[in-house]
Amino acid sequence: MFYTLKFKSLLIFALLLTAASTSLSLLGELRGGEEAVSVSAAGSGAVLIIDAGHGGLDGGAVGADGTVESGVNLDIALKLAALAAFCGQESVLTRDSEELHYPDEDASIASKKTADQRRRLELINSVPGGVLISIHQNKYTAPQPSGPQVFYKGSGLSSELAGLMQEKLNTELASGGRRVATPASDSIYLMKNAKCPAVLVECGFLSNPGDLALLSDGGYRTKLAMTMLSAWMESGHHSYGGYI
């Protein structure tokens, strides 16, 4: 596989981070309180809010072979959360299952979907230092469009992170893709109403046979998660308290 080497290097990188974190904390403890404080103070306290788009009654887009968007989104989100934890980056998930609990089981499907969106927004806006990464898959009427596309809310960290992610996704996954990060439409409820920095990643097109094959591969989904996380770590706003 073409990404094996890079995956290995990320694992090594993560192990180094863990080792560095442990040794720095130990160093701080050994030397007294001041160093320990400075080690933790180096982190920003940012928390990644990882949103696997759709779920429950809402499967989202469906590929020609029956692949349902919500399941692909969830797998990438869980991989991203696991990798983040491994690198010492705190995160929360807006859902961790394909099954969702709706407060009113007798409500119409539309009301249930609205209730779920409101629940997610409430969670997103309740996390101090939150940064939202919403994960989706694209679909188009024609099969030609392919590749990842990143959207962002407003300016500042949102556009900075989206730019970094798009660049990395283009070079690492879309072999020279030329898409640029784009402001999100106001019609996307979570992006419009989230009060924190927010990006939405359309990882690929379920309507494109090449993308569909890639998105069906667990290794490729790991690589998508790794690429998103490395953009976040590179943005310098991660909660890891070390010196990278």
Measured from the CB atom, the residue of 20 and 62 that comes closer to Zn ion is 62
The site map against Zn ion for 52-91 (x = CB under 5 A) is -x------x-------------------------------
The site map against Zn ion for 86-125 (x = CB under 5 A) is ----------------------------------------
What is the smallest separation between the CB atom of 91 and Zn ion, expressed in angstroms? 20
Residue with tokens 């596309």: 149
The interface region with Zn ion, picked from 88-96, 134-142, 213-221, 231-239 by CB under 5 A, is 134-142
Beta strands in the chain (DSSP E): 47-52, 91-93, 130-138, 149-152, 182-183, 198-205
Interatomic CA distance for residues 148 and 203, integer angstroms: 4
Measured from the CB atom, the residue of 60 and 204 that comes closer to Zn ion is 60
- Tell me, by CB under 5 A, how many residues bind Zn ion: 3
Q: Tell me the pairing of strands 198-205 and 182-183.
A: unpaired
What is the smallest separation between the CB atom of 212 and Zn ion, expressed in angstroms? 15
The binder of Zn ion chosen from 112, 136, 168, 223 (CB under 5 A) = 136
Q: Give Cβ neighbours of residue 75 (< 8 Å, ≥ 6 apart).
A: 218, 221
Interatomic CA distance for residues 117 and 124, integer angstroms: 10
* H or E element in which residue 27 lies: helix 4-31
Could you say whether residue 238 binds Zn ion (CB under 5 A)?
A: no
What is the smallest separation between the CB atom of 36 and Zn ion, expressed in angstroms? 43
Measured from the CB atom, the residue of 136 and 238 that comes closer to Zn ion is 136
Edge-to-edge strand list for the sheet holding 149-152: 91-93, 47-52, 130-138, 198-205, 149-152, 182-183
Residue with tokens 């694992």: 11
Q: Determine whether 57 is exposed, middle or buried from the number of CB atoms within 10 Å of its CB (0-12, 13-18, 19+).
A: middle
Interface with Zn ion in residues 145-204 (CB under 5 A): none
The interface region with Zn ion, picked from 92-100, 136-144, 173-181, 235-243 by CB under 5 A, is 136-144
Interatomic CA distance for residues 3 and 225, integer angstroms: 13
Q: How far is CA 154 from the centre of its chain?
A: 18
The interface region with Zn ion, picked from 9-17, 98-106, 132-140, 169-177 by CB under 5 A, is 132-140
Count how many Cα atoms sit within 13 Å of the Cα of residue 31 in the half-sphere of its side chain: 12
Measured from the CB atom, the residue of 43 and 148 that comes closer to Zn ion is 148
The site map against Zn ion for 18-57 (x = CB under 5 A) is -----------------------------------x----
Measured from the CB atom, the residue of 136 and 237 that comes closer to Zn ion is 136
Interface residues with Zn ion (CB under 5 A) are 53, 60, 136
